[in-house]
Chains A and B, each alone.
Chain A
Amino acid sequence: MASREVIQYETPLSKAFRGFCAVFLAFYVVWTVLPLFIMFMSSFKDLLEAFKLPAVGDWAGVTVFFEFTPTTKHYYELFANLGFSTYLFNSLVAAGGSAVVSVILGSMCAYSLSRIDFKGKGDLFFWIISTRMAPVVAVMVPLYWIFRQLDLVGTLPGLILAYTTFNLPFAIWILKGFFDNVPYAIEEAQMVDGATRFQALRAILPLVAPGIGAFIVLCILFAWNDYLFAAIIGSGGAKTLPVATRELVQPQNIQWGQIMAAGVVTTLPMMFLGLVIRKYLVTGLTMGAVKE
């Protein structure tokens, strides 16, 4: 096998470019990590301490930032009095439920599209993905009306259905690519070995596991971070974390401490999920697929 090494030769230009990259990346890290850091710190601060800021240009004053007595009162308030445990549960069920439903329906649909030739298959496939082309806001009103007629507004099943509507085309699109990469001969071998068509499908599922894993993460992320659907379809009975957090901004005052704590509660599970499933996500999204 040939070497995979990328050959590069130094020129003054490439050196300058590398320097520029280093500076850019440094700023980028600050830009992305600092807000999270401030959120995390502020969630453990009393309101007065949280607003103690050094004067502009006073770099030594940065230490002010770290001078505080840690308190968990915001978290206590969220879970004891504001019902955040319910909202956390709603978020988990809505995101997880739609991911599971989308994966089951999506993998069956993707399998059919990948394996069976029928008339109008190309058109059907395009129609499926075209449902994702309109922005969510554009379909919000009709969707709300439909959900209203079906008595699904403000219920968890309603929210799961709404997320599934948008996740399913995506699931089919991603998973079809993965099924395409699994040689059909493997299923044929299964069938000759004595499997039914359905058993053969089940037997190749481990081969598309990276795709399923990657899709589950994207699906959960979409539902977890969604505000629009949750605010409109889920309003009332199926309130999720983003909506509950938004409600901490009240006309009289803004509950900064609780907002920061709610931000942490919302962000941490996703960061954890990302860490757990990082390997799948990378191999999955690069379509590293199946090698025989």
Chain B
Amino acid sequence: MAKVSFRNVWKKYGDIPAVKDLNIECQDGSFLSVLGPSGCGKSSTMRMVAGLEHITSGQILFDERPINDLAPKDRDVAMVFENYALYPHKSVYENMANPLKLRGQDAAVIKERVTAAAKLLEINHLLERRPQELSGGQKQRVAIGRAIVREPNLFLFDEPIAHLDAKLRAHMRGEIKHLQRTLGTTMIYVTHDQLEAMSMADMIAVMHDGELQQLGTPRQVYNHPVNAWVAGFVGEPAMNFVDVGVEDRAGRTHFTHQNFSVAVTEEQQRQISNGSRESVLRMGVRPDALSISMTKPSDSCITGKIFVTELLGGDMIVDVDLDDCRIRVKTSTEFSGEEGQTCYMTVNTNKWHAFSKENGKAFF
């Protein structure tokens, strides 16, 4: 087990940078999720840790020991690939035994370890089969099994459950998290699915365009996104963004829009005035920080017209048209509004956000 540190790591393909000046500390035994859309550099990051790609500049350290120039086999990491990369001509047992065999372990030890890992993953009845005879979920377990048979410094999981169906994915999220807690091995888990990162990781590193946007706990990333991009990427349904004017009314800053005018809290007022003098900001509010009703609750509410309602079993999502944009509100299934009707929304001002219109940085 090891602590993993990235120090000013760059990856360039020719002149095109894929990872820009990355600095992350991943504590020993913790679960770090690298989150970002495709092409954000997260897979390059993981492959540099595994030794499958050279590090253009900077250093990656395991427990303060630079590993830049070590071959994959000498880094003692175990990796689960997105497409599983099982050896098609070998049985499940042989697949899982491979890393031990390559390290020259005794047959008895190999058997013991493989059997134990197979039991943990509940695949001990599949050991004689070939990968083609397995379902997606089973293949994925075998790939994990191959990673856990030895006790590596580090687990690298590269979108391991992206190809499973939704139900199995939800199940595997819990299993992988539990497995990491049980084994206590440091884990770097790459994913584009913010739900996976939120639900499993101790720390999330959000990446965009090769740059680290934010490193923090799932709560920090969700509740205090550092910029509009992170705010929009994390959370489902996504955060609503509305351009608002900033006006002082009776000593209190208000966010104004054709459809509403809402006062900020005292602390938020301070945070804005410390930050900038922009007259237009991006207001961000998550669908669950809005409450919707068909009767006007107060003057400081947002007025809109219902575009469509979507019932999601336990919740309902209402799409509401404002004059210049559309926002989504999460509400209970009792909501009875219908398409085309006028509705009123109240913002929970403790849970809203304001971002700079120029650079997207968060004020609060």
Contacts and interface: CB of A to CB of B under 8 A. Distances in A.
A292 B72 CA distance: 23
Interface stretch (B56-64, B95-103, B329-337): B95-103
Consensus secondary structure, chain A interface? helix
Contacts of A183: 83, 85
Given A190-B98, A291-B132, A196 B73 contact: yes
A25 interface: no
B102 A193 contact: yes
A247 interface: no
B35 to A, nearest CB: 22
A199 B104 CA distance: 14
A185 interface: yes
A254 interface: no
Nearest to A290: B88
Interface in A176-190: 183, 185-186, 188-190
Contact of A186 (B50, B79, B85, B103): B85
Q: What bracket does the count of chain B residues touching chain A fall in?
A: 20 to 34
A206 interface: yes
Interface in A187-226: 188-196, 199, 203, 206-207
A201 to B, nearest CB: 13
Contacts of B103: 194
B131 interface: yes
B71 interface: yes
B71 A191 contact: yes
Interface in B77-110: 77-79, 81-89, 98-99, 102-103
Nearest to B74: A194
Nearest to B104: A194
B128 to A, nearest CB: 18
B102 A291 contact: no
B42 interface: no
B52 interface: yes
B152 to A, nearest CB: 9
Contacts of B146: 189, 193
A192 B50 contact: yes
B85 A185 contact: yes
A129 to B, nearest CB: 28
A196 B87 contact: no
A119 to B, nearest CB: 13
Given A188-B79, A191-B52, 12 more contacts: A185-B82, A185-B85, A189-B86, A189-B146, A190-B98, A191-B71, A193-B73, A203-B87, A207-B88, A291-B132, A292-B83, A292-B84
Which 3 pairs from chain A and chain B are nearest by CB?
Answer: A185-B85, A194-B102, A193-B99
21 contacts: A183-B85, A185-B82, A185-B85, A188-B50, A188-B52, A188-B81, A189-B81, A189-B85, A190-B98, A192-B72, A192-B78, A192-B79, A192-B156, A193-B99, A195-B73, A196-B73, A207-B89, A291-B88, A292-B84, A292-B86, A292-B131
